[in-house]
Structure 1
Amino acid sequence: MRINEQLKQEIENRKKVEAKLRQSEERLELALRGADLGMWDWNVQTGEVRFNRRWVEMLGYEPDEIEPHVSAWKKLVHPDDMPRMEEVLKNHLEGRTPFYETEHRLLTRAGGWKWILVRGKVVHRDSDGRPVRTTGTHFDITERKKLESQLLHSQKMEAVGQLAGGVAHDFNNILSAIMSYGYLLRNKLRDDEQSRDNIDKILLLSDRAAHIIQGLLAFSRKQHFEFVPVKLNNTIRNIEKLLAKFIGEDVGLRTRLTNKEPAIIADKTQIEQIIMNLATNARDAMPEGGSFTIETEVVEIDENFIKTHGYGEPGIYALLSVTDKGTGMDEETKQKIFEPFFTTKEVGKGTGLGLSIIYGIVKQHNGYINVYSEPGKGATFRIYFPIIKAAAEKEKAKDLPDLSGKAEAILLAEDEPAVRDS
């Protein structure tokens, strides 16, 4: 009888321990869910790995789709990240670091890649110091990596812009002096003199160089623009016929313009240049013909948009979308496409300034630009311009004062001696 009572007591005690263990496991699982963490538990000696449900769901898999073994985990690691991951892991397993931490990409069920922050630690070693059990967590940092990449790209473009602007300004002064002296010399020569032809060639090449410098100044946002209320749809309609001739008969031009008639504060000539530069880019990407589509919409940039794209100020924007069915581009090309002098064309086929000029113009209009493209699937450029209120749309240009002179003296101020003397 007494033995039965002892046995019964032991069973009750065991049930209490098991209940507490279940509660502890539930609390741990809830804590991991709250922190959005996946958990792994690795038997280093057998290779067996246990993953919690969040670890698997993070990558889009079902629990039974991933073998509970370290080899299955390693198959998911991006090949470029594997050497670094193995080095960090080896250092920790051999006791050279207090814990294991690395960032690497893992393959998702959909075929994409997610950036994962992995933290872990050896929690049990045998009597010889060899690791027996290691546990840790996974945390999805894909969005953080995306924002970091966008920030680095923005800083890079800003630095390149400052450099380009400084160089362009100095060269512009030198070139202005060369052209001024060239015109002075040309005017002193007779039309039939051979030297006049040589001077004309110098001036022609100088003009081409000046065009490149203007492109650099546009990219670096150091050009002077005339900002007035502009109806975006009207601007597109006004150059539609010119565009059709420019892109050629093999490329079909389509326009889909919103009926909301968005108005923006802009330099009309520069908006036209954006469209023409994109048309040039599209035409060259479709040597055998295709389609070129221009669309406008009125959209809202909200907090969700900013979180997804990593840029923007909340508000209502006019969206100009330009799409071609050309050769498209890969991710590496997209990262460099707005840099000055970057081009995928053959030598002599372009300066590599067309898209960087667009970038500078858009930024000077307080807008945003991005590109969506894949190899073989064409490209879509989306440009966001802040919209103005209806009242500003009706604003009329003020009469300019009469600035005709009455034989006054003109003072020319110039800090570059060569330009001043010419």
Structure 2
Amino acid sequence: MKILIAEDTEDSRIMLEMALAAQGYEVMSGTNGIEALHLMQTATPDLIIADIMMPEMDGFDLCRKVKADPNLKHIPFIFYTATYTDHRDEELAMALGAARFLIKPLEPKVLIQTIQEVLAAYQAEDAETIQATQSKEQEIDSMHLQSVGRKLDEKLVELEQERQALKKSEEKYRHLVEAIQDYYFFYTHDTEGIFTYLSPSIEIMLGYTPEEFLLHYSEYLTDSPINKEVEYHTQLSIKGEEQPPYEIELYHKNGSIHWLEVKEIPVFDEQGHVSHIDGIAHDITERKQAEKALRHGLKMDAVGQLTGGIAHDFNNILAIIMGNLDLLERVMPEGDKTLVQVKSMKKAGQRATDLTRQLLSFSRREPKQTTTTNINRVIKTMDSLIARSVTPEVELEYNLTDDLWLTRIDPGDFEDVLLNLSINARDAMASHGHLSIETRNVNIDAAYCEQKPEATPGEYVQLSVSDSGDGISPELLERIFEPFYTTKGPGKGTGLGLAMVFGFTKRSGGFITCYSEVGVGSTF
């Protein structure tokens, strides 16, 4: 037996086809009333199952046309709907001559049983007798119009609710996008790897307009090795392969380097081919800086422990050597030719002792003896020493805040720090230049700490030592606080001066930064 299905929803139509075919029925199907009528011109079905809400011609009109056709009106008609569920809709369906009015969803077993009952009833009774119960045409038209009107009203209410929900959703996601635009931008590129869209938030994040970035993208990539993988990842996306996020480095318009985490998603067309790639780029610069600061801190701690252990043992050995040299010097008579050599050995031993003291100062985690101090007073007592250390060719300037806060430090260690920074500044200037020593009160807030992970919010006394020397390149700047690292020539530095300064600031609950421009100078 043939059964015709008129159903516009694909999932429902397929489910019906499978359920009926499994019972041995021959199935024909269309997506609306017009398609169903065309199918009936080629083969007359034994039963019709139709949805009501369908495009072009709904189920009510289909039923009316079937029952108005002398060749088709004997075919039993079942409505199977999930939208027209009002009892008045059922009354209209029965008035049109339907055999059953069923509400979706039904268990397949129940649906098949109902179909069998309808077919059995129509075979047992005379079709004309069944159709005799149909109402008058005018009454049916009125019921149909009322049913459609109700459904339109319901649909209008539903659409308004959906519109309001969509408006709220758009508002929600608009606020979300606005909130993250400092850290994310979105883009699309085609299967040639050419950008076709960039969200305006790229200008907030990297300083470039979308137009600038599209035209000069390759110029903004740094020469970092990780950027060599960009083309590889792009090709994987073009091939339609899912891949985890990857990182790239780009120059901000202001010249600073930003790290981005990129996630790409291939988008496929109906044929299963990649049509384009959607991507999202997340600024992870702060995270990378924090990771870098953490690695540096761990490295400095490890070096400090190693250095402290070596310096402690070396200091014990030196104590024995220096003690015996003192005894030897005392017992040797004046005029002894070897006395000069002993004094030379003592002088070398003293240099080794000073070097050991610097090593211990760097590795020490706690200050030896702290006191509440106004560092301006310490600086003023060192004025003449600093002036002699930097030579008369260097112009020395002091800018000391009058109402400077008190701070708890080891004054002796602070003197070493100031002298080290002053001598470093002198060495950075060939024969003449300008050296500035400044103090002031500062409040460090959370925003600053986001840029400088080594800092913590609070009130600080700031010491700044600035020179007009050669400056330090960004590559060298990353290593200047490492022990034994120096840019000076052989014999001109131990590489422990800035390491000792770094250790002092950590012990004193502070932090140190360096701003430097090549050819302009440096500020510590």
Q: Please indicate the TM-score interval, normalised by the length of the shorter structure.
A: 0.7 to 0.9
Task: Tell me how many residue pairs correspond in the alignment.
Answer: 364
- 2:196 is equivalent to residue 59 of structure 1: no
* Residue 56 of structure 1: how far off its partner (Å): 4.3
Change (3 A) 1:29 1:105: farther
- In structure 2, the residue matched to 1:181 is 324
Which letter maps to 1:99? Q
1:201 partner amino acid: S
Q: 411, 417, 421: which is aligned to 1:278?
A: 421
The structural deviation recorded for 1:27 is 6.7
What SS does the corresponding residue of 2:512 show, helix, strand or coil?
Answer: strand
- Offset, 1:207: 1.2
SS of the residue corresponding to residue 118 of structure 1 reads strand
Match of 2:262 in 1: 118
Aligned to 1:324: 467
**Match in the other structure for 2:495:** 352
Label 1:322 to 1:48 Cα distance change in 2 as closer, same or farther (>3 A).
Answer: closer
Q: Do the aligned residues in 1 keep the contact of 2:367 with 2:507 (CA within 8 Å)?
A: no
Match of 2:351 in 1: 208
- The one of 307, 311, 322 aligned to 1:168: 311
Hey, what does 2:441 align to over in structure 1? 298
Task: Give the Cα separation in 1 of the matches to 2:507 and 2:220.
Answer: 44
Cα pair 1:339 1:356 within 8 Å, conserved: yes
Mapped contact 1:99–1:122 kept (Cα < 8 A): no
| Distance change >3 Å, CA 45–CA 231, structure 1 → 2 | closer
Partner amino acid, structure 2, of 1:275: L
Deviation at 1:126? 8.4
1:83 is matched with: 228
Question: Residues 5-24 of structure 1: matches in 2 within 5 Å?
Answer: none
CA separation of 1:169 and 1:126: change in aligned 2, threshold 3 A: farther
CA-to-partner distance for each residue in 1:108-159, whole Å, 9 max, x for gaps? 33333321111012121786x7643211111111222222222222222111
How far has the Cα of 1:371 moved from its partner?
1.1
**The structure with more radius of gyration:** 2
User: Which position in structure 1 is the counterpart of 2:341?
Assistant: 198
Measured after TM superposition, the shift of residue 288 of structure 1 is 2.4
Identity %: 33
Superposed displacement of residue 367, structure 1: 2.0
Q: In 2, Cα distance between the equivalents of 1:65 and 1:141? A: 22
The 5-angstrom pairing of residues 7-406 of structure 1 reads 31-36=176-181, 37-45=184-192, 47-67=194-214, 72-80=216-224, 81-94=226-239, 98-124=242-268, 131-221=274-364, 225-381=368-524
Q: Which deviates more, 172-181 or 81-90?
A: 81-90
Measure the CA separation in 1 of the matches of 2:228 and 2:418. 46
Corresponding residue SS for 2:325 = helix
Give the SS at the match of 1:347: coil
Q: Which has the higher contact order (CA 8 A, sep 6+)?
A: 1
SS at match of 2:344: helix
TM-score, structure 2 normalization = 0.63
What amino acid sits opposite 2:432 in the alignment?
A: G
How far, CA to CA, are the matches of 1:318 and 1:205 in structure 2?
38
TM-superposed deviation, 1:331? 1.4
Inter-partner Cα distance in structure 1 for 2:477 and 2:216: 33
Question: Tell me, what secondary structure is at the counterpart of 2:481?
Answer: coil
SS at 2:478's partner residue? helix
Please give the per-residue CA displacement for 1:34-59, whole angstroms capped at 9, x wherever unaligned: 44331112221483521122234422
- Any idea what the Cα deviations from partners look like across 1:214-265, whole Å, max 9, x if unmatched? 1110111168623222221111111213322321221111111111043222
Paired residue type of 1:363: K
* Distance apart, 1:65 and its partner CA: 3.1
Q: How much does 1:75 deviate?
A: 3.8
Aligned amino acid, residue 84 of structure 1: E
What is the distance in 2 between the residues matched to 1:27 and 1:322?
Answer: 50
The answer for the alignment partner of 1:404 in structure 2 is: none
TM-score by length of structure 1 reads: 0.77
Note the residue ranges of structure 1 that are not aligned, 5 or more in a row.
Answer: 1-5, 382-422
What amino acid sits opposite 2:178 in the alignment? R
2-side partners of 1:156 and 1:113: how far apart?
23
Matched residue SS, 2:513 = strand
CA contact (8 A) 1:88 1:101 kept: no
Cα deviation for residue 104 of structure 1 reads: 1.0
